[in-house]
Amino acid sequence: MMMDGRKAYGIKESIMIFKSLIKPKETLTTLSEDATLAEALTVLEDSGYRCVPVLDPTGTLFRGNIYKMHLYRHKSRGGDMSLPVTALLKNATKFISIKASFYTVFFTIRDLPYIAVLDGDNHFYGILTHNSLLKLLAEAWNVNAGSYVLTIRVPDERGDLSTLAKEITRFTQIVNVISLAPHDDQTKEILFTLPADVDETRLNRIVKRLNRRGYEVVEIEDLHP
């Protein structure tokens, strides 16, 4: 029962984090699907946005996004600007639930300036912008609470993360860990952020210990040079 409680808490906490980053519908510039292309272009030019959400006439259902570049292209080719905005609608299936997991959010938004967010009734709630997600990731990196970031290259084998963490915690706590696979040679890079109280002397001891255990520290980044 305790495990179920922790799971429920974790899900609720995740929803609260993302909800705090969402720009609610009431604060946004949106268009109704019955607006014309000419009206859409005026709204985009006046607002300065490169795209805005398009909703149904009731303002509750997400229909897609309209982009300034597509409007300009259509107009430059002599297209009919009196057509409804739905004629150039994009990203109609690009949306997430307000209860979506981090991985769903990350992989859905990666090619978009923002992702539409729907509430529990599948009504348009607001948007989560690319910049907001990047800000969240930057905060998770704990730059302000860290001293150095160690990048350690390891074979993609079982147990390396556990062993590295054990070796580093002989000397200090670990603020943050990120595992990346930037290469195609069956290796991965594990980035450990060390806390602010780690000085150069202790850093050198950590690196020496890792090298002695056969681990390659490929980069050391000083977060506050």
The pLDDT value recorded for residue 5 is 40
pLDDT class of 1 with cuts at 50, 70, 90: very low
| 2-136: CATH, from 3.10.580.10, 3.40.190.10, 3.40.390.30, 3.40.50.150 | 3.10.580.10
Q: How far is CA 191 from CA 82, 103, 116, 182, 194, in A?
A: 54, 19, 32, 12, 10
Domain 145-222 class, CATH top level: alpha beta
Q: Give 169-210 pLDDT, tens digit per residue.
A: 999 999 989 888 766 667 889 999 999 999 999 999 999 999
Mean pLDDT of 127-155: 83
Q: Where are the domains of the chain?
A: 2-136, 145-222
Q: In what order do the strands lie in the sheet with 51-55?
A: 31-32, 51-55, 62-67
| Beta carbons of 188 and 181 less than 8 angstroms apart | yes
